Structure 1
């Protein structure tokens, strides 16, 4: 399995490099894309307009522009998204989805579009703990998480005791609900990648901070229906956006400029 996984990743890299020179034209094809609108700053609802916005919206809309395709944006909860894409209800899905072997056995992944690490987000006035070890040592402290996510599994296996039913983990239907529980004092920490942590701290000045060091590194990718003919074109577009600085410009817009204006 490991060899197959490595070979698959190598094939993706070769396909990306080959496709970067000349992007295919999809002739105005409509692609159904799905997200959750609950993972700031990757995808969330603009309070002013009620529309979905964020890094992933901008990135995929740009991919569509470069490939000459139209995007039909749809919404889905996180717990049904991977299965729905697998079954072909949607063509492509995105929600800060970590590329893992288990998920890659169910759906196709694009080339990685972002690399991030897991951190501990806490209230700004938190003094009871300052890293994963001191958090785990205090049985009164709680972590808020969304089931089935990388954040959940890191909490279970990297911080706590490996018991997925540990009562110290409080589960929420959406990632945003877990962050709100942290803000209101119902839980003491929420794990998230540095990307999303910057977004929440920017949107809530003075409310949160990060403690401890990184708990792991993860790569995000778009998910596609197995065997999708969109994978290679999307990979080529991702590579072109990395090469011409578009990805870095999106990082600046959503992780730095957004923080300063919210």
Structure 2
């Protein structure tokens, strides 16, 4: 029920977002509100607690807005729609664990990263944990992610199955429909801790990445303001505190 309610709320938020346009910094500052989007289905980074959007990235965006003297008007929609929605000027910014890649940089601009992570193999007890063990196996990933791209490049994998949400891929693993799941290492850590009865195990890292907010290409002054706020939050220890709240460690990039 909670998942269904979250999806329904997310769809409602998307509908409410129609007609909203990405704006430059001067317009945002004058309005006093920044319109930000996330997915809401990627714990512990962004997810719903009942009707409330929460998680590490939600707290980070709220803290950035506070530094800039703004309130946040939140929107939520599926991960695979966020980049296209930014290009359609439906939001000012999105924060949803987008790894910085050359391909994505053709469509959107990135802020400086708010955390560093990477893709990790997860399987049930006795399942494949090393890259070489994935030969002839079926791997589950979330659609339109860097994890999906990375899984396609693993030598010998029998099949890569994509799912609309990362939680769907996790459910497929626990249900025995796939042999392994590739996801963010912190998402994996949370899933393993929350599903102890499933005997989930963390395996090899597939790749390392830097994750950042996305915004419309050429919206330079807004990007600079966001980067300035992120730098201040890192310097004053706020990002570290938010990291430890949700992940029990500091996940900010070292440089």
Contact 2:142–2:148 (Cα < 8 Å) also in 1: yes
Matches within 5 A, 1:107-126: 107-123=108-124, 125=125
Matched, 1:68 2:60: no
Contact 1:36–1:43 (Cα < 8 Å) also in 2: yes
User: Structure 1 residue runs of 4+, over 4 Å off?
Assistant: none
Structure 1 residues 160 and 243: CA distance shift in structure 2, 3 A: farther
1:160 is displaced (CA, Å) by: 4.1
Give the stretch that moved more between structures: 242-251 or 195-204.
Answer: 195-204
Distance 2:128 2:33 in 1: 50
Query: Which residue of 2 is the match for residue 153 of structure 1?
Result: 149
1:28 is displaced (CA, Å) by: 5.5
Distance 1:78 1:226 in 2: 19
Contact 2:129–2:201 (Cα < 8 Å) also in 1: no
The alignment's C-alpha RMSD in Å is 1.8
Return the structure number with greater relative CO, CA threshold 8 A, min gap 6. 1
Matched, 1:224 2:197: no
Task: Select the structure that is richer in strand.
Answer: 2
Query: Which residue of 2 is the match for residue 36 of structure 1?
Result: 39
SS at match of 2:116: strand
Query: Which residue of 2 is the match for residue 185 of structure 1?
Result: 176
Give the stretch that moved more between structures: 65-74 or 201-210.
Answer: 201-210
Structure 1 residues 236 and 173: CA distance shift in structure 2, 3 A: same
Distance 1:128 1:178 in 2: 15
Distance 1:256 1:97 in 2: 21
Distance 2:69 2:195 in 1: 37
Distance 1:159 1:236 in 2: 41
Distance 2:232 2:151 in 1: 35
Which runs of 5 or more residues in structure 1 are unaligned?
Answer: 1-24, 258-262
For 1:180-216, what per-residue CA distance to the aligned partner results, in whole angstroms no more than 9, with x for missing partners? 11111111111112121122223323432202x3221
Which runs of 5 or more residues in structure 2 are unaligned?
Answer: 1-27, 250-255
Equivalent pairs counted in the alignment come to 220
Distance 1:54 1:82 in 2: 20
1:158 is displaced (CA, Å) by: 3.0
